[in-house]
Amino acid sequence: MSPEADRPQGRAAALVEVFARLRKDSRVGLMTHIVFGYPTVEASRHLVDIMARSGVDLIEVQLPFSDPTADGPTITHACQKALDRGVRVADGLAFAREVTKKYAVPILFMSYFNVVFNYHEKGEARRGVAAFAKAAAGAGAAGLIIPDLPPEEDQERYPETCREHGLHPIYVTSPNVNDRRLEAIAKAASGFVYATSRTGTTGREVQIAMEELGRFLDRAHRLCKLPVAVGFSISKREQIEALSGKAEMAVVGSHLIQVYEKLGLSALEREIRTLAGRKD
């Protein structure tokens, strides 16, 4: 890991502070996920407001992409609907600039490498990773989650470029990876590691094999030496509590979209507060 990762500044430092606070409180944190622009941009504003007021620790803002290979049907559908409405990357960046000025909770951008690689601003000669990292940092993001970028592939100096712009490059891993992959993540990543609770895509209601997952999380901690957030198929407070001593953060995405679609904003707020362990 480069020296820059040890001296984070601004929003990147706020993300490190989140995990320090969780360790101090012996608490599993909660990262919630939205697909920007679904069902509308205004709805995204309401969703982030509810999440920030309900005690979440991190918010993951997905920039819609037409082929979200790591995502299940719920998020894939949300991405397509947002794209059909004309939502673009520039809109997501403007949205992040708006919400990061309003809320203290760190914001992370999640998308796919095609989005990053093809990004450029009008009139700017710089494009690709450098342009996107500069724009994301300028929008107030604390880090980037690009699930289809393997840590062994240093495309356009991706991890170094992220850190040069004050962003954490956050890598995604799963229980079936070998130690070599985790060691590669250790060299490239900072902030935390995003571990899936199982192989496959998001959003499936399946029983999480906690004993097997626990062994994998032990290995991820030992080799990566970073906090670990666990996502995929998490939808209950009991699952989050079961991660105590195994992971620092739980990630909930598809479940929240489904609650919002079926029951609306008020029910969503109650659900987030329950997941966050809020009693008030």
Instruction: Write phi, then psi, for 16 (nearest 5 degrees).
Output: -60, -40
Rounded distance between C-alpha atoms, residue 137 and residue 118, angstroms: 17
Q: Which CATH number fits domain 3-272: 1.10.3720.10, 3.30.390.50, 3.40.50.300, 3.20.20.70?
A: 3.20.20.70
Considering the entire predicted model, what is its pTM?
0.91
Set 17, 57, 67, 71: catalytic member: 71
Kindly report the backbone phi and psi dihedral angles of residue 71, in degrees, each rounded to the nearest multiple of 5, phi listed first.
Answer: -105, 145
3 state DSSP class of 246: coil
List per-residue pLDDT tens for the chain, 280 residues long: 433 334 456 789 999 999 999 999 999 999 999 999 999 999 999 999 999 999 999 999 999 998 877 678 999 999 999 999 999 999 999 999 999 999 999 999 999 999 999 998 776 666 899 999 999 999 999 999 999 999 998 789 999 999 999 999 999 999 999 999 999 999 999 999 999 985 544 444 445 678 889 999 999 999 999 999 999 889 999 999 999 999 999 999 999 999 999 999 999 999 999 999 987 7
Query: Is-catalytic flag, 71?
Result: yes
User: Is residue 205 flagged as an active site residue?
Assistant: no
Dihedral (CA of 218, 223, 227, 231) sign: negative
Tell me how many degrees the CA angle 224-55-239 measures, rounded to the nearest 5. 55
User: Which residue among the candidates 4, 6, 42, 60 is catalytic per the annotation?
Assistant: 60
